[in-house]
Amino acid sequence: MQRNKPELLAPAGDLERLQAALDYGADAVYLGRESFSMRAAASNFHSAEQLREAVALAHRYGKKVYLTCNTLPRNEEIPTFPQFLQEAVDAGADALILADLGLLAMARKLAPDMEIHMSTQTGIVNYASCQALYDMGVKRAVLARELSLEEIAAIRAKIPADMELESFVHGAMCMSFSGRCLLSAYLTGRDANRGACAQPCRWNYHLMESTRPGQYFPVEETDEGTYIFNAKDLCMINHLQDLLDAGVDSLKIEGRNKSAYYVAIVTNAYRGALDAVLSGQPAPQWALDEVVQVSHREYCTGFFYGRENANQRYESSSYVRNCDVVAVVQEWRDGRLYLTQRNRFFAGDTLEILAPGQPPVTVAAEGLQNGDGESIETANHAMMDCSIACEKAFPARSVVRKPVS
């Protein structure tokens, strides 16, 4: 059974996404810098000053920050680690997420008070590994995604009570074991183990026989080829009690490359679902509905319930998208909602507004005006100021979206 209040851990690819995670209910965030980060394509927090600002902001909310350092670094990168580590200490980061045993040894020596979490890239699948890492000073194991709930419960039963277990509960999955993949490096020269994955698992493949060059054969009987490596997205929002019963301490949302809108909506949904479960109630329907309002692939429950649940999607690698974010709330004042436009919308459009901790509210874009208070028919300039008539007040940074027709 769950021993402590579980943590909801959200991604923060940059300052805007960090703010979204904090606004919408994350207990902690994980973020990266330009080096040692498994999400090299994310905006990240490049300078030591940016890292200090991010940590200070999270701490003002009473939330924690975990700094990712989860690549498999090469020889030439090792001499830069002491400075990276010292800047993390100076910024007040609450933990480092590591994957490499050499960096673990260096961190324990150079920053003995820094909390260490071992990344899913480490491939932790048994209690012996957890115990060995605990003996090396590791506080938390981010478990391999290939584990079932039964296996997680068995690990929990055989490791020290104060060692924490973290598990991914939502987001994109990798067809390779715990993300350790050579396919991207082989095909494109971009090393997935150093944060630069080109996602060749999402590509459309055909088979070519060596004596028939130029003749491409579908791996399945289809003219469109097959996406033989392509994984579905993970979604465990309706199974949180099972995760807690297995002994998971931290529920992790994937997505440092995702938008601030994605972070806000998914974090808000899991916050609502987790709070309901902790009070003995089922996840509310609005939270279950919210996770399909972001761009996603077909959902599955990964390996948690065994291998009989299919995790591959062979038809395509395309996303499902039901809504577009069209604006972000600046403020509500005197019966008007003042917005910053993100995508085009029209006077009279039916919109949905999502504020932290609440289900979405449907409003009509009536009385649309530009930033000068002039009536307009279309908000069609990116980042333009505009407003609509609205009797209900919404807080700043609430998300305004429009269903995709």
At 215-259, the pLDDT tens digits run 876 666 455 556 667 788 999 999 999 999 999 999 999 999 899
Flag whether 17 is in a domain: yes
Are residues 290 and 328 part of one domain? no
Q: What is the pLDDT of residues 152-180, one digit of tens each?
A: 999 999 999 999 999 999 998 876 666 66
Q: What is the side-by-side strand order in the sheet with 385-389?
A: 361-364, 350-354, 399-403, 323-333, 336-341, 385-389, 369-370
Are residues 11 and 120 part of one domain? yes
Largest CA distance in the chain: 75
Flag whether 250 is in a domain: yes
Which pLDDT score, from 0 to 100, does residue 111 have?
Answer: 98
Are residues 160 and 11 part of one domain? yes
Q: For residue 348, give its domain range.
A: 323-403
CB 31 within 8 A of CB 44: yes
**CA dist., res. 134 & res. 154, Å (int):** 16
Are residues 121 and 38 part of one domain? yes
Flag whether 224 is in a domain: no
CB 283 within 8 A of CB 238: yes
Are residues 155 and 98 part of one domain? yes
Which pLDDT score, from 0 to 100, does residue 193 have?
Answer: 65
Angle at 337 between CA 333 and CA 343, to 5 degrees: 150
Tell how strand 399-403 and strand 323-333 pair up.
antiparallel
Are residues 331 and 284 part of one domain? no
pTM, rounded to two decimals: 0.86
Considering its fold, how many domains does the chain have in total?
2
Averaged pLDDT for residues 122-126: 94
Flag whether 315 is in a domain: no
DSSP 124-148: --SHHHHHHHHHTT--EEE--TT--
Averaged pLDDT for residues 103-110: 97
Flag whether 208 is in a domain: no
Are residues 51 and 163 part of one domain? yes
Flag whether 86 is in a domain: yes
